[in-house]
Structure 1
Amino acid sequence: MERKKVLIFVFCLFFILQSSSSNYVSISSLSKDLNLKVKYSLDFGYFELFNDKKKVRIFSGMPYLIYENKINYMEELIKLDKNGEILFPIAYVNLIKEYFREKPSITFEKKTNLEQKSLPSSSSKVTISSFSQSSSIKQIQPVTGEKFKPINCIIIDPGHGGKDPGGLGIGGIEEKKLVLQVSKRLYDCFRDNSSIKVFLTRRDDRYLTLKERIEMVKSILNRGYNPIFISIHGNISLKPDIYGFEIYTLSEDSTDEEAMAVELKENANFDVKDIKETEELFYILKDLIIDGLIVQSESLASFISKKISSNSEIKFKAQKKANFFVLRYNLVPSVLVEIGYISNLKEAKLLNNREYQKKLVNSLKEGIMSFIDYYNKTKGFLK
């Protein structure tokens, strides 16, 4: 009973209380009509409708409706009526009914690809694939010590975009728009640095698949640059008191349950087909290369963490690890940055403030350049 009260309280922070109408159906009515069970997860920010064969997952504050291998981007969010009952817009209801009333195409147990994909182990059989007929292994593999190549490029990746809004925070803040603003500010910070080339994966409100993001990295590598990759995101939680800057590096095992929740949220916008196509492009020569990239990525994260935490105006929360797809399939040192929680009232206001954004990106820039300078000075940590 106490858990249910907490759930209702948190949902009230995200959604405006409204009266039920003919355009909405309550979760209790829908679950009864379709004979479904309901599962709430406060820790991971979602709830599910399911039976013995199928399940549908809906994220709080994010217009995703996920089942099997398909992510549906909805135009509206769920909301509450005046009694605290969860209401589904009719578009959700129609999709859910259609899905549960049709014959299952795959079994319930096989629909976990979005949640768990482990990295290949040293005993795994390795398949090497080129990106195109003109690509070669020599062209796109990371430098491993035969000839040092300094880092001379930064790829800034604003998360989400287009049909994928990411998180929807307090005051109607859309993650996709916020992170694009911050990414452009970070890009501008490097414009006067002639020794560093900077790329944005997107400059406007467009949707990029996982495959497209990774192919951009491959293309930049093939042009002779030696880049690092910074993916910019905004965080969201069902617990409105949580706030702060976080930075993530790749790991098969998440640091903690909170890191797992962030991993689940950020991976949710890539469907299984996209992941499989990206995996066909990605190759691993040997575990040593993966280990080298992870060490470099963790060092990059540490330099950024140090600069962010030294800025008294920015709340530094943690440096963590998780199995993000955009990091997992990358060929260069990579980090995923959560600039703050748009579900926290105070931090959402700060993140929407131009002056705060400038302070944030300046600290990010300082951390990035500290890493690049150290990496190049020590010739890849070898001196």
Structure 2
Amino acid sequence: MLRRGMEIIKKFLIKFWLPLGITVVMLAIALAFTMVLLVRQQITVHINNITIRQGPDVLKSAQGMLKKGEHLNILDRDNGWYKIQREDESTGWVAGWLVERKEPVKHMSLLSEATIELDPGHGGSDNGASSIDKKHFEKNYTLALAQKTQSELQNNYGTRVLMSRDDDQVVGLLKIPKVGEAHRANAFVSFHFDSTDENNTGSGFTSYYGKEDNGSQELAQYLNSSMAPVMPIKNLGVKQADYIVLKYNSVPSALLENGYINSSRDFKNIRNKKYQQTIAKRVPLGLEQYLNYQAKQTE
């Protein structure tokens, strides 16, 4: 009886080995995929003081704070934000890039939960303005400055930074604002260096804004105020301008002209890495003050 049963099973396996094999493989893949999803939905917090908010944005109301070592379930994702469930089953939204971060944040603030787009002006075949000797181009210094600012924001504040470009390439002017808009950026900052028709006839730094009704004017003012005390060149103030990256941008936006590249005096600073680093350290302070202002407006 047993032998007959074994023969029946053997014949069955021989006849249906292919569909059975496929079924087993598919079940194994499905099980592995399910395990991966389960692992991805769970995470451990590695840094302290991550704010829990009522929605996926830094300006949403706070409702708690995460501590290092907490175990979370991720229920949903929205533009870099995680909807999480804590061990006490309470839920809320947190900045996903902070939850994923392993290194402590030196300056934890609203800026840590913000998404900022940095735009190094010009690039590729578009050199921008040039120095008096025509050997140094605006595009290279805007990129260097933006990268220093990116490093400062990410390393010391934990900010999520978007770059309109991170190498020597042309980016269409109308495409630049789309980067921040697609990721619901909280602010946009474009870096430039000014120029005049005649060499050595201009000097100073200027902060520009485009729209007056979306926070751009306040953003430009806070950035200008944060830079003014430490800049070695004249402050030309805050002005309105219809630059494309400002005019066609729904994100609060500012454009910084950080000196005249065809001015011997200004260019001496522009090419100095310490000058670039000074600006890179002051821009986050202006952004932080701007976000604090915005938060008060939403209370």
TM-score w.r.t. the length of structure 2 is 0.59
Q: CA deviation at 1:373?
A: 2.8
Determine helix, strand or coil for the equivalent of 2:155.
Answer: coil
- Confirm or deny: 8 A CA contact 1:170 1:348 kept in the other structure: no
2:220 — aligned with what?
301
1:331 — aligned with what?
250
RMSD, matched Cα: 2.2
2:204 counterpart of 1:250: no
Change (3 A) 1:211 1:242: closer
Consecutive unaligned residues of structure 2, counting only runs of 5 or more, are 1-56, 63-109
Q: CA deviation at 1:311?
A: 1.6
2:201 — aligned with what?
241
Q: CA deviation at 1:359?
A: 1.2
- Confirm or deny: 8 A CA contact 1:308 1:314 kept in the other structure: no
Which of 166, 170, 178 does residue 203 from structure 1 map onto?
Answer: 166
2:255 aligned partner, one-letter code: L
Q: CA deviation at 1:217?
A: 2.1
1:232 aligned partner, one-letter code: F
1:321 — aligned with what?
240
2:196 aligned partner, one-letter code: S
2:267 — aligned with what?
348
- Aligned-partner Cα distance in 2 for 1:329–1:174: 26
Q: Which moved more, 1:314-323 or 1:241-250?
A: 314-323
Determine helix, strand or coil for the equivalent of 2:230.
Answer: coil
- Aligned-partner Cα distance in 2 for 1:227–1:168: 32
Determine helix, strand or coil for the equivalent of 2:171.
Answer: coil
Change (3 A) 1:375 1:176: same
- Aligned-partner Cα distance in 2 for 1:197–1:353: 27
2:213 — aligned with what?
292
Alignment map for 1:18-29 (pairs within 5 Å) = none
- Aligned-partner Cα distance in 1 for 2:226–2:177: 28
Change (3 A) 1:304 1:214: closer
2:191 counterpart of 1:232: yes
Change (3 A) 1:359 1:292: same
Change (3 A) 1:358 1:195: closer
2:100 — aligned with what?
none
Runs of 4+, deviation exceeding 6 Å = 147-151
Which structure has the larger Rg? 2
- Aligned-partner Cα distance in 2 for 1:178–1:218: 25
- Aligned-partner Cα distance in 2 for 1:343–1:323: 23
Q: Which moved more, 1:182-191 or 1:151-160?
A: 151-160
1:219 — aligned with what?
182
- Aligned-partner Cα distance in 1 for 2:264–2:164: 29
Determine helix, strand or coil for the equivalent of 2:129.
Answer: coil
2:189 aligned partner, one-letter code: I
Determine helix, strand or coil for the equivalent of 1:190.
Answer: helix
CA shift digits 1:134-174 (9 cap, x unpaired): xxxxxxxxx9x9x6797711100011111111111224220
Determine helix, strand or coil for the equivalent of 1:292.
Answer: coil
- Aligned-partner Cα distance in 1 for 2:241–2:166: 27
- Aligned-partner Cα distance in 2 for 1:310–1:182: 19
Asked which structure has the greater RCO (Cα within 8 Å, sep 6+), the reply is: 1
TM-score w.r.t. the length of structure 1 is 0.47
- Aligned-partner Cα distance in 2 for 1:359–1:229: 19
Q: CA deviation at 1:214?
A: 2.6
2:291 — aligned with what?
372
Q: CA deviation at 1:345?
A: 0.4
CA shift digits 1:40-92 (9 cap, x unpaired): xxxxxxxxxxxxxxxxxxxxxxxxxxxxxxxxxxxxxxxxxxxxxxxxxxxxx
- Confirm or deny: 8 A CA contact 1:244 1:316 kept in the other structure: yes
- Confirm or deny: 8 A CA contact 2:117 2:179 kept in the other structure: no
- Aligned-partner Cα distance in 1 for 2:231–2:166: 30
CA shift digits 1:97-122 (9 cap, x unpaired): xxxxxxxxxxxxxxxxxxxxxxxxxx
